[in-house]
Structure 1
């Protein structure tokens, strides 16, 4: 199975930009690029920050582009998203729990679990008790099935101070306790950082995908974020023989 992970579109309303970047143009280029991929992905994982301000028009723009690909996709929110409009516009592609947008999907023997780390009104992430209870129940419902977990905020420290300040602040220890020692977890994939980074968490590999729109500087000392004009990349994940292998391929040229 081939999975394309797309993250951090920051799609705006017409005429607006995000960080000085025309993210609508970047998203259109991304859609054209994914459409031309060969082989064609079996599934798209959208790991948050679909929109810049979280209004319906931004989500409608993203929905139109993603659905035009004809590839199944699922989405969890990032810190720029808002649950109500995301739930309203992308109802078929996100979670349906009353308290969060966590989701579970099964495709060709693979279980995909999406976690909602959004704290509305803040940039950092959290996994609150209701979602942790849901996750424990979900993991236990089909124990042993190969499982890929995706979320917006990485669960480990990246070493980038500005990003770690707005990382997963709450629920990290509880998440580790739920995942540690499980042999059915193939790995975790995230967004948020606008850079490709790999790490580990609770004994599992974690892959952070770069933004499908724009990247942030690799800054180990700076207090803020600086957009850098680096080539776009797309993350691909291949699941075969009970293993997850991740790749970066050149993204669309703007």
Structure 2
């Protein structure tokens, strides 16, 4: 099974930019690049920050683009997203739990779990006890299916101070305790950091996909974020024989 992970669109309203980047144009180019991928992905995972301001019109633009591909897709919120508009506009592609945006999807012998790390009004993330309890129940009912978890905020330290400051501040230890030693977890894939980074969490592979439009500088000392116009990339994940292999392929040109 081939999965494309798309993240951090930061789509704006017409005439606006995010970080000096025309993210609407970048998203439109991304859609066409995904349309041209061969082989064709069987599932799209959208790991947050779909919109910049979190308003209905931004999500409608994203929905139109992604649905035009004819590929099933799932979305979890990022720190720039607003839960109510996201759920209202992308209702068929988001979680339906009353307390959070977590979701479960089974396809091709794979179970995909989306976690909602959004803290409304904040840049950092969290996994409150209610969502951890929900995840425990989902994992307990999984019958050993290979499982891929996707979320916005990465659960591991990246070594980039500005990003780690706005990482997951609540629930990381509880998540680690829940996942440690499980043989059904193929890995965790995330967004938020605006560049590709691989690591590990609770003994499992963890991967951060680059942004669909603009990257942040690889800065191990700086206190803030600096947009860099590096070539765009798309993350692909292939699941076969109970194993996960991840790739980066060129995205649309800048």
Q: Deviations over 1:85-111 (max 9, x none)?
A: 000000000000001110000001000
Give the C-alpha shift of residue 142 in structure 1.
1.4
TM-score for both structures, normalised by structure 2:
1.00
CA distance in 2 between counterparts of 1:90 and 1:229 reads 29
Q: Aligned runs of 1:107-186 on 2, under 5 Å?
A: 107-186=107-186
Question: Helix, strand or coil: the match of 1:20?
Answer: coil
Q: Deviations over 1:38-86 (max 9, x none)?
A: 0000000000000001000000000000000000000000000010000
Question: Helix, strand or coil: the match of 2:140?
Answer: helix
Give the C-alpha shift of residue 129 in structure 1.
1.0
CA distance in 2 between counterparts of 1:51 and 1:31 reads 15
**Map of 2:6 onto structure 1:** 6
TM-score for both structures, normalised by structure 1:
1.00
Question: Helix, strand or coil: the match of 1:189?
Answer: strand
**Map of 2:105 onto structure 1:** 105
Give the C-alpha shift of residue 143 in structure 1.
3.4
Question: Helix, strand or coil: the match of 1:211?
Answer: coil
Q: Please list every run of 5 or more consecutive structure 2 residues that lacks an aligned counterpart in the other structure.
A: none
**Map of 2:236 onto structure 1:** 236
Superposition misfits of 4+ residues, deviation over 4 angstroms: none
Question: Helix, strand or coil: the match of 1:252?
Answer: coil
Q: Aligned runs of 1:1-254 on 2, under 5 Å?
A: 1-254=1-254
Q: Please list every run of 5 or more consecutive structure 1 residues that lacks an aligned counterpart in the other structure.
A: none
CA RMSD of aligned residues (A): 0.4
CA distance in 2 between counterparts of 1:229 and 1:54 reads 24
